[in-house]
Structure 1
Protein backbone atom coordinates (compact mmCIF):
# COMPACT_ATOMS: atom_id res chain seq x y z
CA UNK A 1 0.00 0.00 0.00
CA UNK A 2 1.25 3.46 -0.93
CA UNK A 3 0.08 6.77 0.46
CA UNK A 4 -0.01 9.76 -1.85
CA UNK A 5 0.65 13.09 -0.18
CA UNK A 6 -0.22 16.16 -2.23
CA UNK A 7 1.09 19.44 -0.90
CA UNK A 8 -0.61 22.49 -2.29
CA UNK A 9 0.43 26.09 -2.09
CA UNK A 10 -2.83 28.01 -2.36
CA UNK A 11 -3.83 31.63 -2.68
CA UNK A 12 -4.87 32.49 0.90
CA UNK A 13 -7.60 34.80 -0.38
CA UNK A 14 -9.20 31.81 -2.16
CA UNK A 15 -9.34 29.31 0.70
CA UNK A 16 -13.10 28.82 0.22
CA UNK A 17 -12.48 27.76 -3.40
CA UNK A 18 -9.91 25.21 -2.25
CA UNK A 19 -12.43 23.85 0.27
CA UNK A 20 -15.02 23.41 -2.50
CA UNK A 21 -12.35 21.64 -4.57
CA UNK A 22 -11.62 19.35 -1.62
CA UNK A 23 -15.30 18.45 -1.14
CA UNK A 24 -15.57 17.51 -4.82
CA UNK A 25 -12.53 15.22 -4.56
CA UNK A 26 -14.11 13.61 -1.48
CA UNK A 27 -16.74 12.24 -3.88
CA UNK A 28 -14.65 11.59 -7.01
CA UNK A 29 -11.53 10.01 -5.49
CA UNK A 30 -13.18 7.07 -3.68
CA UNK A 31 -15.50 6.22 -6.54
CA UNK A 32 -12.50 5.95 -8.88
CA UNK A 33 -10.45 3.54 -6.79
CA UNK A 34 -8.38 5.31 -4.13
CA UNK A 35 -8.97 5.40 -0.38
CA UNK A 36 -9.22 9.05 0.58
CA UNK A 37 -7.77 10.01 3.96
CA UNK A 38 -8.76 13.63 3.47
CA UNK A 39 -8.07 17.08 2.16
CA UNK A 40 -6.77 19.59 4.66
CA UNK A 41 -7.09 23.37 4.36
CA UNK A 42 -5.15 25.97 6.35
CA UNK A 43 -6.53 26.71 9.78
CA UNK A 44 -3.75 28.01 12.04
CA UNK A 45 -0.17 28.88 11.14
CA UNK A 46 0.52 28.92 7.41
CA UNK A 47 -2.27 30.39 5.32
CA UNK A 48 -0.92 28.97 2.07
CA UNK A 49 -0.26 25.27 2.74
CA UNK A 50 -2.95 22.65 2.15
CA UNK A 51 -2.80 18.88 1.72
CA UNK A 52 -4.57 15.97 0.08
CA UNK A 53 -3.86 12.42 1.28
CA UNK A 54 -5.06 9.09 -0.08
CA UNK A 55 -4.01 5.45 -0.17
CA UNK A 56 -3.57 3.39 -3.33
CA UNK A 57 -2.48 -0.23 -3.72
CA UNK A 58 0.57 0.39 -5.94
CA UNK A 59 1.79 2.53 -8.83
CA UNK A 60 0.06 0.35 -11.43
CA UNK A 61 -3.25 0.85 -9.58
CA UNK A 62 -2.46 4.57 -9.45
CA UNK A 63 -2.14 4.76 -13.23
CA UNK A 64 -5.52 3.04 -13.67
CA UNK A 65 -7.06 5.31 -11.03
CA UNK A 66 -5.75 8.44 -12.80
CA UNK A 67 -7.31 7.30 -16.09
CA UNK A 68 -10.68 6.71 -14.41
CA UNK A 69 -10.46 10.04 -12.59
CA UNK A 70 -9.67 11.89 -15.83
CA UNK A 71 -12.81 10.37 -17.41
CA UNK A 72 -15.02 11.08 -14.39
CA UNK A 73 -17.39 14.05 -15.00
CA UNK A 74 -16.86 15.46 -11.50
CA UNK A 75 -13.09 14.96 -11.82
CA UNK A 76 -13.10 16.88 -15.10
CA UNK A 77 -15.31 19.62 -13.65
CA UNK A 78 -13.09 19.96 -10.58
CA UNK A 79 -9.90 20.19 -12.62
CA UNK A 80 -11.48 22.87 -14.82
CA UNK A 81 -12.67 24.72 -11.70
CA UNK A 82 -9.11 24.81 -10.33
CA UNK A 83 -7.71 26.03 -13.67
CA UNK A 84 -10.37 28.72 -14.00
CA UNK A 85 -10.22 30.03 -10.41
CA UNK A 86 -6.41 29.75 -10.06
CA UNK A 87 -6.44 29.11 -6.30
CA UNK A 88 -3.69 26.48 -6.56
CA UNK A 89 -0.32 28.17 -6.99
CA UNK A 90 1.83 25.04 -6.71
CA UNK A 91 1.21 21.31 -6.33
CA UNK A 92 3.73 18.64 -5.28
CA UNK A 93 2.85 14.95 -5.16
CA UNK A 94 4.86 12.19 -3.51
CA UNK A 95 4.19 8.53 -2.77
CA UNK A 96 5.33 7.09 0.54
CA UNK A 97 5.25 3.67 2.18
CA UNK A 98 4.39 3.33 5.85
CA UNK A 99 7.73 2.31 7.36
CA UNK A 100 6.30 1.92 10.87
CA UNK A 101 4.10 -1.09 10.09
CA UNK A 102 5.09 -4.17 12.04
CA UNK A 103 5.97 -7.09 9.77
CA UNK A 104 6.53 -10.54 11.21
Structure 2
Protein backbone atom coordinates (compact mmCIF):
# COMPACT_ATOMS: atom_id res chain seq x y z
CA UNK A 1 0.00 0.00 0.00
CA UNK A 2 1.11 3.53 -0.78
CA UNK A 3 -0.35 6.64 0.85
CA UNK A 4 -0.31 10.00 -0.86
CA UNK A 5 0.20 12.94 1.48
CA UNK A 6 -0.85 16.25 -0.05
CA UNK A 7 0.08 19.45 1.78
CA UNK A 8 -1.79 22.43 0.44
CA UNK A 9 -1.13 26.12 0.88
CA UNK A 10 -4.61 27.57 0.52
CA UNK A 11 -6.09 31.04 0.39
CA UNK A 12 -7.55 31.43 3.91
CA UNK A 13 -10.23 33.76 2.52
CA UNK A 14 -11.39 30.95 0.24
CA UNK A 15 -11.64 28.18 2.83
CA UNK A 16 -15.28 27.44 1.94
CA UNK A 17 -14.32 26.97 -1.71
CA UNK A 18 -11.44 24.68 -0.76
CA UNK A 19 -13.77 22.63 1.45
CA UNK A 20 -16.19 22.26 -1.48
CA UNK A 21 -13.24 21.07 -3.62
CA UNK A 22 -12.24 18.56 -0.94
CA UNK A 23 -15.77 17.18 -0.70
CA UNK A 24 -15.71 16.51 -4.45
CA UNK A 25 -12.45 14.54 -4.37
CA UNK A 26 -13.17 12.17 -1.48
CA UNK A 27 -15.81 10.10 -3.35
CA UNK A 28 -13.85 10.39 -6.61
CA UNK A 29 -10.73 8.80 -5.13
CA UNK A 30 -12.84 6.08 -3.50
CA UNK A 31 -14.70 5.37 -6.77
CA UNK A 32 -11.42 5.16 -8.67
CA UNK A 33 -9.87 2.44 -6.49
CA UNK A 34 -8.32 4.39 -3.64
CA UNK A 35 -9.18 4.83 0.00
CA UNK A 36 -9.51 8.48 0.98
CA UNK A 37 -8.61 9.18 4.61
CA UNK A 38 -9.95 12.74 4.49
CA UNK A 39 -8.94 16.33 4.19
CA UNK A 40 -7.72 18.16 7.26
CA UNK A 41 -8.50 21.87 7.23
CA UNK A 42 -7.03 24.66 9.33
CA UNK A 43 -8.21 24.73 12.94
CA UNK A 44 -5.71 26.27 15.31
CA UNK A 45 -2.35 27.59 14.18
CA UNK A 46 -1.63 28.32 10.52
CA UNK A 47 -4.79 29.37 8.70
CA UNK A 48 -3.50 28.56 5.21
CA UNK A 49 -2.35 24.92 5.46
CA UNK A 50 -4.54 21.92 4.66
CA UNK A 51 -3.66 18.24 4.25
CA UNK A 52 -5.20 15.32 2.38
CA UNK A 53 -4.33 11.64 2.77
CA UNK A 54 -5.41 8.80 0.51
CA UNK A 55 -4.07 5.35 -0.25
CA UNK A 56 -3.87 3.00 -3.21
CA UNK A 57 -2.82 -0.64 -3.19
CA UNK A 58 0.39 0.21 -5.09
CA UNK A 59 2.19 3.03 -6.85
CA UNK A 60 1.09 1.48 -10.16
CA UNK A 61 -2.57 1.69 -9.03
CA UNK A 62 -2.04 5.35 -8.08
CA UNK A 63 -0.47 6.05 -11.48
CA UNK A 64 -3.47 4.39 -13.21
CA UNK A 65 -5.77 6.65 -11.18
CA UNK A 66 -3.80 9.73 -12.22
CA UNK A 67 -3.88 8.64 -15.87
CA UNK A 68 -7.68 8.31 -15.74
CA UNK A 69 -8.28 11.84 -14.36
CA UNK A 70 -8.15 13.69 -17.72
CA UNK A 71 -10.93 11.48 -19.14
CA UNK A 72 -13.21 11.66 -16.10
CA UNK A 73 -15.85 14.40 -16.27
CA UNK A 74 -16.29 14.64 -12.48
CA UNK A 75 -12.55 14.93 -11.90
CA UNK A 76 -12.38 17.69 -14.48
CA UNK A 77 -15.25 19.50 -12.75
CA UNK A 78 -13.39 19.31 -9.42
CA UNK A 79 -10.20 20.65 -10.97
CA UNK A 80 -12.17 23.44 -12.66
CA UNK A 81 -13.61 24.49 -9.29
CA UNK A 82 -10.10 24.96 -7.88
CA UNK A 83 -9.02 26.88 -10.99
CA UNK A 84 -12.10 29.08 -10.98
CA UNK A 85 -11.96 29.93 -7.26
CA UNK A 86 -8.15 30.02 -6.95
CA UNK A 87 -8.50 28.51 -3.48
CA UNK A 88 -5.23 26.55 -3.82
CA UNK A 89 -2.03 28.60 -3.81
CA UNK A 90 0.31 25.60 -4.08
CA UNK A 91 0.68 21.99 -3.01
CA UNK A 92 3.33 19.36 -2.37
CA UNK A 93 2.79 15.65 -2.94
CA UNK A 94 4.68 12.94 -1.05
CA UNK A 95 4.24 9.19 -0.94
CA UNK A 96 4.50 7.19 2.24
CA UNK A 97 4.24 3.58 3.32
CA UNK A 98 1.94 3.19 6.31
CA UNK A 99 2.63 1.11 9.39
CA UNK A 100 -0.76 -0.06 10.61
CA UNK A 101 -2.19 -1.70 13.70
CA UNK A 102 -2.13 -5.07 11.93
CA UNK A 103 1.66 -4.70 11.58
CA UNK A 104 2.23 -4.45 15.36
CA UNK A 105 3.30 -7.20 17.68
CA UNK A 106 1.12 -7.73 20.71
CA UNK A 107 2.52 -8.31 24.20
CA UNK A 108 2.69 -12.00 24.83
CA UNK A 109 2.87 -12.95 21.14
Q: Same fold by TM (over 0.5)?
A: yes
* Bigger CA radius of gyration: 2
Number of aligned positions between the proteins: 103
What is the TM-score with the length of structure 1 in the denominator?
0.91
- Within 5 Å, give how 1:15-54 maps onto structure 2: 15-54=15-54
Structure-1 residue corresponding to 2:14? 14
Distance 2:98 2:33 in 1: 19
- Runs of 4 or more, structure 1, over 4 Å off, are none
Maintained 8 Å contact 1:8/1:92: yes
Distance 1:99 1:31 in 2: 24
The runs of 5 or more residues in structure 2 that have no matched partner are none
Structure-1 residue corresponding to 2:62? 62
What is the TM-score with the length of structure 2 in the denominator?
0.87
Maintained 8 Å contact 1:24/1:78: yes
Maintained 8 Å contact 1:5/1:94: yes
The runs of 5 or more residues in structure 1 that have no matched partner are none
- C-alpha deviation, 1:99, in angstroms: 4.4
Counterpart check, 1:5 vs 2:18: no
32-41 vs 5-14, which moves further: 32-41
Maintained 8 Å contact 1:7/1:92: yes
- C-alpha deviation, 1:9, in angstroms: 0.2
| CA deviation profile, 1:50-98 (whole Å, cap 9, x unmatched) | 0110011111111111122332211100111111211100110000012
